[in-house]
Amino acid sequence: MKIAIDSYCYHRYFGEVYPNLEQAPDHQMSLDDFVARARAHGVQGVSIESFMLDDSSPQNLERLRGLLDAAQLELVWAWGHPHGLGSGARPDELADLIRNVDIAKALGAEVMRICAGGRLTRPESWDEHKSKLVPLLREAAAYAADQGIVLAMENHVDLLAAEVLELLDAVNSPALGVCLDTANNLRMFEDPMLAIEMLAPHAKATHIKDICAFRGSPREFGFWPSVPLGEGLIDIPRTLQLLRSHGFNGLLALEIDYLHPAHGTEEEAIAKSLAFMRSVLADHRSATHA
- The DSSP letter of residue 208 is B
What is the C-alpha to C-alpha distance for residues 286 and 290, in angstroms, rounded to an integer?
Answer: 6
Q: How far is CA 80 from CA 112, 137, 262, in A?
A: 10, 13, 29
**CA–CA separation, 285 vs 279, rounded Å?**
10
Look at residue 144 in the predicted model and tell me its pLDDT. 98
Q: How far apart are CA 169 and CA 174, in angstroms?
A: 11
Report the C-alpha gap between 90 and 97 in whole angstroms: 11
pLDDT tens digits in sequence order for the chain, 290 residues long: 999 999 999 999 999 999 999 999 999 999 999 999 999 999 999 999 999 999 999 999 999 999 999 999 999 999 999 999 999 999 999 999 999 999 999 999 999 999 999 999 999 999 999 999 999 999 999 999 999 999 999 999 999 999 999 999 999 999 999 999 999 999 999 999 999 999 999 999 999 999 999 999 999 999 999 999 999 999 999 999 999 999 999 999 999 999 999 999 999 999 999 999 999 999 877 777 66
Coil, strand or helix at 3: strand
**Can you tell me whether residue 256 is helix, strand or coil?**
coil
pLDDT score recorded for residue 90: 98
Using left for φ > 0, alpha for ψ between -120 and 50, and beta otherwise, residue 4 falls in: beta
Can you give the three-state secondary structure of 4-52, one letter per residue? EEEHHHHHHHHCCCCCCCCCCCCCCCCHHHHHHHHHHCCCCEEEEEHHH
**Residue 290, pLDDT score:** 61
| Domains detected in the chain | 2-289 (3.20.20.150)
Kindly give, in sequence order, each residue whose CB lies less than 8 Å from that of residue 95, ignoring residues fewer than 6 positions away: none
Give the H or E element holding residue 163: helix 161-171
| Alpha-carbon gap, residue 172 to 78, rounded angstroms | 21
- The β-bridge relationship of strands 210-211 and 203-207 is unpaired
Please, which residues bridge with residue 206 across strands? 180
Q: Given this model, what pLDDT does residue 289 score?
A: 63
Buried b (16+ CB within 10 A) or exposed e, 90-125: beebbeebeebbebbbbbebebbbbbbbbeebbeee
pTM here is 0.96
